[in-house]
Amino acid sequence: MKKNEVPQDKSNLESANIKDMYYAVDENGEYTTELSTGWAPKTIALDNAIQDIEERVEEAKAQVLNNKLSPIAYYMELHKMDLGILASYVGFWKWRVKRHFKPAVFKKLTPRTLQKYADAFDISIEELKKVDS
């Protein structure tokens, strides 16, 4: 890529004052660096990924409201986690976390266990018990 071809598309990097650094060749064929404000193909990929997460969150929320899942499943999606990551944060086996997704099991969890989840999501136990915040 030539230095003057480094893309300067609009992206969500701007809001945080971050610019991407590219390696590109100047007019003499020498390698140099150039900052970029963004590149459309990449922005679309990221937007799609974010949208995918939002859909997962909404779906989990609906399932919690239908009493099919416990709020833990909702907060996991909200925090862009998967089972492995959440299990690692709370220090349980994955199958145990999965079990805690069951509303009936969730209701019987001890305050100590609940606190672990609340800490992982950086919320209070009260907040952990509901999804409509």
Partner 1 sequence: MKIDFTHKQAAHCENGVVSNLMRHNGFEVSEPMVFGIGAGLLFSYLPFIKVNHAPVFTYRAMPGLIFNRFAKRTGIKVKREKFNSPMAAKARLDENLKKNNPVGLQVGVYNLPYFPDEYRFHFNAHNMVVYGKDGGNYLISDPVMESVTTLTEKELEKVRFAKGAFAPKGHMYYPIEFPEALELEKAIVKGIKQTCRDMTAPVPIVGVKAMRWVAKNIRKWPDKLGTKKANHYLGQIVRMQEEIGTGGGGFRYIYAAFLQESGKLLNNDALLEHSKEMTIIGDQWRDFAVDASRIYKNRSSQTDAYNKVATQLEAIAKKEEAFFKALRKAV
Distance from C-alpha of 39 to C-alpha of 102, rounded to nearest angstrom: 42
Beta strand segments in the chain, E: 20-25, 31-36
Integer angstrom CA distances of residue 15 from 19, 29, 30, 50, 79: 10, 33, 32, 16, 21
The reply on whether position 118 binds partner 1 by CB under 8 A is no
Q: Closer to partner 1 by CB, 103 or 113: give it.
A: 113
Q: Closer to partner 1 by CB, 16 or 104: give it.
A: 16
Distance from C-alpha of 54 to C-alpha of 60, rounded to nearest angstrom: 10
Q: Closer to partner 1 by CB, 48 or 130: give it.
A: 48
The reply on whether position 31 binds partner 1 by CB under 8 A is yes
For residue 121, how far is the Cα from the chain centroid? Answer: 12
Least spacing, CB of residue 38 vs partner 1, in Å:
10
The reply on whether position 110 binds partner 1 by CB under 8 A is no
Q: Which stretch binds partner 1 (CB under 8 A): 58-66, 68-76, 77-85, 94-102?
A: 77-85
The reply on whether position 84 binds partner 1 by CB under 8 A is yes
The reply on whether position 40 binds partner 1 by CB under 8 A is yes
